Amino acid sequence: MTLFATTPALQWDVFCRVIDNFGDIGVCWRLATQLAQRGHQVRLWVDDASALAWMAPQGCDGVELRAWGAPPPAPHEAPCDVAIEAFGCDIATEFIASQLIITVADGKKPLWINLEYLSAEAYVERCHGLPSPIMSGPGAGCTRWFFYPGFTPSTGGLLREPDYATHQQTFDRNAWRTAHGVGTHSTAVSLFCYEPPGLTALLHTLPPSAQLLVTPGRASAAVQAVLAGQQDTPSQIYYLPPCPQTAFDHMLWACDLNLVRGEDSLVRALWAGQALVWHIYPQDDNAHHAKLMAFLDWLQAPASLRQFHAVWNGLPGTIDMPALCPEILADWTACIAAARARLWQQNDLVSQLIGFVAEKR
């Protein structure tokens, strides 16, 4: 179900500072394109758009890229209706002064939204949709609203295209595998990670029939570092080139197990409905441990999946990594399918975001 599909077209300004080239820009690009596909205009302000050269080589009608620090929109350009501050990045003071403290033509002020990080922790439901009045600086008198993605109906939901199910249903899994040299009866495992503590254990416990599809960048470098100096490769390993976001979805659909990282690929793996393991972004104070446990609790993860996550992410007191036998993978897949079914009953993030804007403006 899609809410507020007939709301007037607005001018959205989405701000993104890239910490992880694939994650921050990946989420913001999906957000921008899904807004544009619903008839809105989007200016995406980003400090490093280089990953879009392969992530979205065709661009998207209705989405305009602007460099971080570029001048605010000129008087003859459409004024900002909604400003999205992604992941706590700070909008330039010049943009705030010229766009966010004014009243636009329809008599309404622009809405300023902080799009937060994804978490299953309890505070998300408490903080979602709360206002934060700006008391000083160029934005004094404005209100910043907090919008939290999440896994429950009391949060902002997850990004999902309206036609996602149709595309997945028409996908030919065996044809994809054949085209990429993956056996139709083998255990296909995709690997998109940082440098997981459990990588060595994984490479030495994969079943002989497994084929490991390794994404470029840090995942490939991590695998090569583990295997350096070893004469025997523990499994069939394929190093993949960079690919557009749609092709990444195809890989997730075609694999039996998806090892993903960060936020964007976790969401895509959930929608894919196959067994998954999450390499959560590590934090110096180990705050990610509680975040991971909250996700596994929401997921209703079986003991073997919790154990694998603990070893994979290097949680203290972990034990041996469970073997990826067919029975375990089937158990994990059933868990993800049930979680996906719960998520499918909720409205997607963009539908909720459009409704939130309609309510607050």
Equal fold, 11-157+347-360 vs 164-344: yes
- Answer whether 189's CB lies under 8 Å from 257's CB: yes
Token representation of residue 156: 């902002």
List CB contacts of 59: < 8 A, sequence separation 6 or more: none
- Answer whether 28's CB lies under 8 Å from 16's CB: yes
Does the domain formed by 11-157+347-360 have CATH 1.10.3470?
A: no
Q: What is the mean pLDDT of residues 327-355?
A: 98
What pLDDT is stored for residue 234 in this prediction?
65
What pLDDT is stored for residue 204 in this prediction?
86
Nearest CA among 182, 181, 115, 110 for reference residue 141: 110
For 145-199, write each residue's pLDDT tens digit: 999 999 999 999 999 999 999 999 999 999 999 999 999 999 999 999 999 999 9
Catalytic site includes residue 348:
no
For 257-314, write each residue's pLDDT tens digit: 999 999 999 999 999 999 999 999 988 888 899 999 999 999 999 999 999 999 999 9
Token representation of residue 241: 């080139």
The residues spanned by each domain of the chain are 11-157+347-360, 164-344
What pLDDT is stored for residue 209 in this prediction?
87
CA atoms within 13 A on the CB side of 248: 24
Q: 164-344 sits in which CATH class? A: alpha beta
Q: What is the mean pLDDT of residues 28-56?
A: 97
What pLDDT is stored for residue 103 in this prediction?
63
Of 81, 116, 263, 264, the active-site residue reads 263
Catalytic site includes residue 359:
no
